[in-house]
Structure 1
């Protein structure tokens, strides 16, 4: 009985380096956006504190509320961008892992079918 050459799926094979690089770029952009968002919010806060008008001025409360909402918008927007970029990177990683696991499952299924047919032929 001649043995067949079978191919084995390697578990650590890097088949999609372009997708891995793209996911890495998304992660780097997420860090950059997060850091720049915090720096921008901090600079805006410092600028506001340095230019803070007299608290007896009419409309002072309105100015403070605009500042607070602007700070929240910068920090919240940065947070949403960071989460979105990290989610995109994880989605790419997930797609590559699903493809890899599909190949492993197909290889195991093929081996099981070959074993079953060999057992059937022996009887």
Structure 2
């Protein structure tokens, strides 16, 4: 028994609310899931601003006309034995925001977090 595509897409979207990498993961399972993921704009609406500019651009394109949830927060990078928390300086923050500022009409939310 298989799930209807609309229901599976909804499950993907719900899962992506907690895991911003889920859209990428499900799009690499099989051809059918990839096609479904790429044709589900709401799955790509969460844009986490980190050092992966190409990933942001792809997400924004795949979200099509959907509103966007923009998040700016440092994410730890795991290098095996060492986990590094990148430092976001004022210049980097301004650079990131300059990229998403033209998209303000599409923002559904903006979340900016900094560790003390």
TM-score normalised per structure 1? 0.21
Greater Cα radius of gyration, structure 1 or 2: 1
The structure with the greater share of residues assigned to strand is 2
Which fold has the larger relative contact order, with Cα–Cα distance below 8 Å and residues 6 or more apart in sequence? 1
